[in-house]
Amino acid sequence: MKRLRILLCDDEAQILSLLQSVLESEYTVIGTAEDGQALIAAAQALRPDLVLTDIDMPRMDGIEAVQEIRKTLPDCRVIFHTSRTEPEVMAAAFSAGADGYLIKGSSQSLVSAIRTVVRHAWDRDEELAIGRNAQPML
């Protein structure tokens, strides 16, 4: 089975390093970025299956970056990994196209959460494809 290709984005180098070390056992980390503008450029160049990004970053925040990424990579999955817990921020993240929203904390729950988001996102795609190809019953 093909390993999921993940692009990571966080303005804190230590968090990027931690994320990469935690995720590399199950996924292929294809790149990292430290701000929203760099995330957009990396996503367009690398075409990841999944973007795991923070929200609060310099130059451009993660929500704005994801809105731009969705324009050119609509099938790319997005999970926000952030310390922001305000309902309005969460709502903005999902409006921008998030498939998941994780509060920074345990690395064990991070891997489990990514598995869950990926499984549900791909299951939803299969259901949509089946629905598009369904023949009317007469």
DSSP letters along the chain, please? Answer: -PPPEEEEE-S-HHHHHHHHHHHTTTSEEEEEESSHHHHHHHHHHH--SEEEE-SS-SSS-HHHHHHHHHHH-TT-EEEEEES---HHHHHHHHHHT-SEEEES--HHHHHHHHHHHHHHHHHHHHHHHHHHHPPPP-
35-78 pLDDT, tens digit per residue, is 999 999 999 999 999 999 999 999 999 999 999 999 999 999 99
pTM of the full predicted structure? 0.84
Q: CATH: 3.90.25.10, 3.20.20.140, 3.40.50.2300, 1.20.1050.10. Which one for 5-131?
A: 3.40.50.2300
Confidence of residue 136 (pLDDT cuts 50, 70, 90): very low
Spell out the domain ranges in the chain.
5-131
2-26 pLDDT, tens digit per residue, is 788 999 999 999 999 989 998 898 8
